[in-house]
Every structure is written in C-alpha cells, then in structure tokens.
Amino acid sequence: MRKLLLAVAAAAILVMPTVVEAQSPIVIKFSHVVANDTPKGKGALKFKELAEKYTDGKVKVEIYPNSTLYKDKEEIEALQLGSVHMLAPSTAKFAPLGIKEFEALDLPWLFKDDQTYSNAMKGTIGKWLFDKLETKGITGLAYWDNGFHMLSANRALMKPADFQGLKFRISGSKVADQYLRIMGSIPQIMAFSEVYQALQTGVVDGCENTASNYLTQKFYEVQKDITVSYHAHLQYAVIVNSKFWSGLPPDIRAQLEKAMNEATDYTNQIAHQENEDALAEIKKTGKTTLHYLTDADRKAWQEAMQPTYKWAKGRVGQEVLDLVAKELDVKMN
C-alpha cells in the first residue's frame, strides 16, 4: 500500500507541471523603440488589449516601448533567437538580413498620400515583401503606417543647397543615405534611442522623422528648424518569430490574427491625425520654427533626389522596382 501511495504521489508530481503549464497564459513579448503615445505605441497597446480579450486571457502580451528591452540595432537578432516574440521595426531594418528589397519603400516622393501607401501594402507589394522574410525565420503579420518624414536642423532647409555639409541621423536605409548624400549632406546611422542626445550635443546636425516622433521624443527641443517636407514615408512591419507563431494552437493563432487585423486598422486610421496633432503641438511650444516648401521648392527637391531611383536598381534589384512602378504608376528613371 505504501509503495502504491508513493507511486501515485510521484505520478502527481510529474503531471502537476503540465497542468500548471496548461493553465498559464502564453506570453508574447512585444518590443519596440518608440513611445507609447505614438501611432506604433498605441497600435501595440491596442493589439495587447484585443489579443487578451479575444483569447479570454489565454495570451498575455507584454509591451516593451522606448527600447527598454532591445535597441533597434539588436531587436531583429533577438527575435530570430526567440528572446522576444514580436517587433514592429521600420522596413529599412531588413537590409542587414540580406533582404534589401524593402528599401524600395524608402524612395523619395514614392507615395502620393497615406491612402496610396495603404493600398500598396495591402496588395501585391506588401505580400511579396513579406514572403521574403520567411526564409529568415520571420513571419510578417501587418504593415503599420506612421506617415511622412520631415527634416530638421538648426537652419531652415528650403533649397537643396541648405543641406550642404550637414550631418543627418538616419535609421539605416541606404536609400535614405543616398538621397541625403545627393543633397550634399552626410548621413549617419544611429539607434533611435540615441538621437536626442546626439542632436543636443551636436554629434549630428539634424534628422528625419515623423511629426509624432519629433513630439514624443522631444527632438523639437534641440532643433531650431523643422521643414514639413513629407519627402518620404515611414512604415513599420509587424513581425513575429515564425517558429513561435506556427507552434501556437490554431485557435489561439486565429484569435491573435483577428486582434492584429483590428489593431492594424486602428493604427493606420489614427496615424494621419496623430501626426497632424503632433505638428500643432510642436508649433504651440514655440521652440522650433516650422517651414513649408513652396511648389518651386518641392520641385527642386524632387529633381535633386530623382537620381536615387536609378541608383536604387543596384541596391534593391529590378524586380521590386518593376513591381512598385506598376502598382504605384511611378517612373523609376
């Protein structure tokens, strides 16, 4: 009898972790580099809310904003290693993986407006690019809009000549590097979390980003002039570790996909307004001067940056350029 009780107790010990594990929520670590009060930050929080709601608490999403878990230079490798499960990097971050085609999205003056961007990413272009990630153990879930870039410095940037000799922080896109070099400036790759101090100390003279990021990261405090140029678009790809994603129970994955689709619609709907509101807030502070390009100024920028399209063929390849040209009805040369 004693042996039987010991055997039952031993079996219970072996079973108990499985029972506890089955009752524990699946944790998804979602890391990003911007503030919660931005389109991407709000999108991540919306996904958390909906994911936990639709799975009835079977999933717990932990959000790590503002590079608190990983900096933007480190996060994709962490995703591949399984140290974090979900990210939303700018699409320029995929080139180091050998997938340079994403940089076609960084071409200047490519998207006419937010709707044009949205249609492209929901269609052939978006799917084609996500298919490229699968070979790297990454699954693309959605594209999140963050609007159009502005450029700043401690001088007004109105003519191409105004860029001469200035050092600009860029996120890593070689396309952005090229069009800024064409304008006579010196681009420098730098982690997002380091930008404010670099601007404050003069390590770089300026940067490009969206209005919501200028506001929430307080870049406007250390830049006397911002040109509301909207010369290029900033988009994020919400990605997940493929092994982790495919290993989820099918019903849980379906609920998370529903949550992601709704969070994406929410994020893309608020992005434009968030940037408009941020621009108004920046103006209200009086700490920086906002400059707007005239039609003649814009044309001069477009003509100056146009050689980037021809150069891009050797960087991103003809196939993606042909696809983008067809979908967006733009000339590549």
How does pLDDT run across 118-144, given as a tens digit for each residue?
899 999 999 999 999 999 999 999 999
Q: Give the strand pairing for 225-227 and 150-153.
A: antiparallel
Identify the three-state secondary structure at position 240: strand
CA distances, 217 to each of 35, 38, 210, 212, 269 (Å) = 7, 10, 11, 8, 22
DSSP state of 73: T
pTM of the predicted structure, to 2 decimals = 0.87
Burial (CB count within 10 angstroms: exposed 0-12, middle 13-18, buried 19+), residue 15: exposed
Contact of 189 with 172, CB cutoff 8 Å: yes
Contact 151, 229 (CB under 8 A): yes
Give the model confidence (pLDDT) of 178-234 as tens digits. 999 999 999 999 999 999 999 999 999 999 999 999 999 999 999 999 999 999 999
Strands of the 167-170 sheet, one edge to the other: 186-189, 167-170, 206-209, 150-153, 225-227, 289-291
- pLDDT, mean over the chain: 92
Angle, vertex CA 268, rays to CA 94 and CA 98, nearest 5: 5
SS3 227: strand
What percentage of the chain has pLDDT greater than the value 90?
87
Q: Give the H or E element holding residue 125.
A: helix 124-133
* pLDDT over 70 percentage in the chain: 93
Query: DSSP code of 90?
Result: B
**Mean pLDDT, residues 42-66:** 97
- The residue type of 81 is L
* Residue 183 backbone dihedrals phi, psi, to 5 degrees: -80, 0
Residue 137 has a CB neighbour count (10 Å cut-off) of 15
Whether the pLDDT of residue 280 is over 70: the answer is: yes
Residue 22: the pLDDT is 52
Worst-scoring range by mean pLDDT, 14-28, 58-72, 132-146, 277-291?
Answer: 14-28
pLDDT digits 0-9 by tens, 298-313: 999 999 999 999 999 9
Per-residue confidence (pLDDT) for residue 331, from 0 to 100: 77
Distance CA 138, CA 196 (A): 31
CB 120, CB 104: distance < 8 Å? no
Structure tokens at 231: 């010369």
CA 201, chain centre distance (Å) = 26
Question: What is the pLDDT averaged over residues 237-260?
Answer: 98
Q: pLDDT-based confidence at 7, cuts 50/70/90?
A: very low
